[in-house]
Each structure stands twice: as structure tokens, then as C-alpha cells.
Amino acid sequence: MLKLRSPSHQEQILALAMRQIEKMLKEMQSNGKNLSRLKLKKFQKTHHIDCKCKLCEDAKIKNDPRLRGLLEDGFKVYVEGAKKSSQ
């Protein structure tokens, strides 16, 4: 996990992320995607279900999969298309 040194460092990282997201969305729009139906979803990728690390063992004991070891944390972008009827 990234440890942030100061609030200004935190703001710099957030500003960089915002610029990258804006660039990605502009690129999608220039490729013809209609962003009016845009959805952002947070996702977390955790250790495999058979993992035996301490975090995963605690998650199993407490029966809470959200406590499993975290491999990746991010977001996904979805653009819903117009639903076509199959008639």
C-alpha cells in the first residue's frame, strides 16, 4: 500500500489520477462512445480462495470475504449501449 507523506502529496496524486481518467474518457468519446450512459464501478481483486495467509485465514474464521488479502484495487468503466430488440 502506498503511504502518503503529506496532504499536498496526496493532492498531487489525486490530480494526476484525475488527469489520466479525463484523458481516458476523452479518448473513448473520440472513438465514438456515447458517454451519457457511463458507469464507474469500484472493484477489488483478492487472494485466491485457497490462500492460507493470515488475512485470508482471519477472513475465513470471521466468515467475511472482504477481509481477504488484497491484490489489486481499482475501478472499471462501463458504457451501456442501446439495447437492441431481437425481433
Question: pLDDT tens, 1-48?
Answer: 455 567 788 899 889 989 998 998 899 889 988 888 888 888 888 888
Residue 30, classed as helix, strand or coil, is helix
Residue pair 70/48 in contact by the 8 Å Cβ criterion: no
Q: What is the pLDDT of residue 8?
A: 85
Q: What is the pLDDT of residue 58?
A: 92
Instruction: Single out the residue of 34, 28, 58 nearest to residue 46, CA to CA.
Output: 58
Within 10 angstroms of residue 47's Cβ, the number of other Cβ atoms is 15
Q: Give the mean model confidence (pLDDT) for residues 55-75.
A: 88
Residue pair 43/69 in contact by the 8 Å Cβ criterion: no
Distances (CA, A) of 63 to 35, 39, 52: 39, 30, 14
